[in-house]
Structure 1
Amino acid sequence: MTHAEITRKVTWQDLRKLSLKELLIENNVTLPWLFASWALAYFGYYWFALPFSAFFFLTALRQVHNGFHNSLGINRFFTWFTLYGNSVLMMASIHAVKFNHLRHHKYCLSEDDYEGKSAGMSWYGAILYGPVHMFLIHKVTLQAGNKKYRKNVLAELISIALFAFIVFYFNVHFLVYHVIVMLTGEFLMAFFAVWTVHHGTEDAPHLARTQRSGWKNKITFSMFYHLEHHLFPAVPTIKLPELAKRIDEAMPELQKKNTF
């Protein structure tokens, strides 16, 4: 079944609109995890801070991912500010990630899809490829992106470098911890954000992997409804559980591969 055939069978346009509650959730979902991880790290409880840092990284990825598709329910400036702010906090240019992510949707798993390169690797190959993945994401954007993208990427990289310099120069220990953990997360992106949801889908790239287990989707903040996202990228993450139900009702015969 083609992408176009699937989108014609499912009612989804109403899911683009966020209520006030949903808007506040999507735009503030990162804050509890960030502040909790910083507080625990400040008092030296690094191991206890680690899961909170992981959840911050995951929710920040969810937030910027919605920003890529203009699905945060906020205007263009605040969307830009969200991407810029999370660039500094996540230690990578999020506009570079955006450029490659939108190309990923357009050229999914083809030669021009630089984000999706790790999908065809082994799981351990995708992990080892992680640092190369992050370098390539920035390099491709600076080479192929338009003037606006290049300007944003350079501004974010300069801000990240300035932030890191201040943190290490003044030895702000809880932020040193934060920088190290965020860089580790970035180096694992090729595995967690690409390989997990796309391996074994080369024959039908628009049919990415998905997750239907309730508790797994709760602990991953619905980020593994990836089949649904690729079919309807304009739908905000908070609406993906409802979208998944509609897809299942409209096309119970559609085969789905689990993420994990």
Structure 2
Amino acid sequence: MTHAEILKKVQWKDLKQLSVKEMLIENNLTIPWLLASWILAYYGYYIAALPFSAFFFLTGLRQVHNGFHQSLGTNKFLTWLSLYLNSILMMTSIHAVKFNHIRHHKYCLSEEDYEGKSAGMSWYGAILYGPVHMFLIHKVTLQLGNRNYVRNVLIELLSIALVAFGVFYFQIHFLMYHIIVMVFGEFLMAFFAVWTVHHDTEHNPALARTQRSGWKNKITFSMFYHLEHHLFPAVPTIKLPELAKRIDEAMPELEKKNTF
């Protein structure tokens, strides 16, 4: 079944719209996790802060991912601001990630898909490839991106450098902890954000892996409904559980490989 045929079989356009409550959730989901991790780290409870930092990173990915596809329910400036602030908080140029992610949808798992390079590797190869992945997406954006992308990437990288310099120069320990954890998280992106959802799908890249277990989707904030996202990228993450139900009802025969 082709992508076009799937689009005709599933009602999805109504899911693009967010209520005020849903918009507030999507744009503020990161805040409690960030504050909790910072408070615990401020008082020296670094081990206790780690799971909160991990959930901040995960919800940050969800937020910027929706921003890539204009699915935050906000105007262009506020969406840009969300990507910029999360660049500083997550220690990478989010506009570089966006540029490669949009190409990933266009050229999924082909030679032109730089984001998807780790999908064909072993699981441990994808983990080891992580630092190269982060370097490559910045390099590709600066080489292939238009003027706006290049400007945004340079602004974000400069801001990250200034913030990191200030944090380490003034020895702000809880923020030093935050920076180190975020960099470590970025180095795992090739594994968690690419390999887990795309390995062994090269024969049909549009049919990425997905997750149907309720509790697994709750603890991962619905970020592993990746089959649904690739088929309908304009649908916000908060609506993906409903989209998954509609796909299952309309096409129960559609192949669905589990993420984990």
Query: Does TM, scored on the shorter chain, surpass 0.5?
Result: yes
Task: State the distance in 1 between where 2:143 and 2:39 align.
Answer: 39
SS in 2 for 1:92: coil
Instruction: Give the counterpart letter for 1:27 in structure 2.
Output: N
Task: State the distance in 2 between where 1:255 and 1:154 align.
Answer: 41
Task: State the distance in 2 between where 1:79 and 1:21 align.
Answer: 17
Tell me, which stretches of 5 or more residues in structure 2 are unaligned?
none
Q: 2:164 maps to which residue?
A: 164
Instruction: Give the counterpart letter for 2:21 in structure 1.
Output: K
SS in 2 for 1:138: helix
Q: 1:55 maps to which residue?
A: 55
Task: State the distance in 2 between where 1:180 and 1:196 align.
Answer: 23
Residue 185 of structure 1 and its aligned partner are, at CA, apart by 0.2
Q: 1:257 maps to which residue?
A: 257
Task: State the distance in 1 between where 2:131 and 2:90 align.
Answer: 15
SS in 2 for 1:50: helix
SS in 2 for 1:103: helix
Task: State the distance in 2 between where 1:58 and 1:42 align.
Answer: 21
Task: State the distance in 1 between where 2:82 and 2:242 align.
Answer: 25
Deviations 1:28-53 (A, max 9, x none): 00000000000000000000000000
Task: State the distance in 2 between where 1:119 and 1:7 align.
Answer: 25
Q: 1:219 maps to which residue?
A: 219
Deviations 1:92-111 (A, max 9, x none): 00000000000000000000
Query: In the TM superposition, what are the counterparts of 1:71-150 in structure 2 within 5 Å?
Result: 71-150=71-150
Task: State the distance in 2 between where 1:116 and 1:32 align.
Answer: 31
Q: 2:29 maps to which residue?
A: 29
Task: State the distance in 1 between where 2:59 and 2:87 align.
Answer: 13
Q: 2:188 maps to which residue?
A: 188
Task: State the distance in 2 between where 1:121 and 1:7 align.
Answer: 30
Task: State the distance in 1 between where 2:22 and 2:192 align.
Answer: 26
Query: In the TM superposition, what are the counterparts of 1:11-22 in structure 2 within 5 Å?
Result: 11-22=11-22
Residue 2 of structure 1 and its aligned partner are, at CA, apart by 1.1
Residue 161 of structure 1 and its aligned partner are, at CA, apart by 0.1
SS in 2 for 1:202: coil
Tell me, which stretches of 5 or more residues in structure 1 are unaligned?
none
Instruction: Give the counterpart letter for 2:147 in structure 1.
Output: K
Residue 255 of structure 1 and its aligned partner are, at CA, apart by 1.2
Q: 1:68 maps to which residue?
A: 68
SS in 1 for 2:127: helix
Q: TM-score, normalised by structure 1?
A: 1.00
Query: In the TM superposition, what are the counterparts of 1:222-241 in structure 2 within 5 Å?
Result: 222-241=222-241
**Are 2:132 and 1:155 equivalent residues in the alignment?**
no
Runs of 4+, deviation exceeding 3 Å: none
Task: State the distance in 2 between where 1:2 and 1:224 align.
Answer: 22
Residue 7 of structure 1 and its aligned partner are, at CA, apart by 0.8
Deviations 1:9-38 (A, max 9, x none): 000000000011100000000000000000
Percent identity over the alignment is 82
Instruction: Give the counterpart letter for 1:172 in structure 2.
Output: I
Q: TM-score, normalised by structure 2?
A: 1.00
SS in 2 for 1:150: helix
Task: State the distance in 1 between where 2:227 and 2:179 align.
Answer: 32
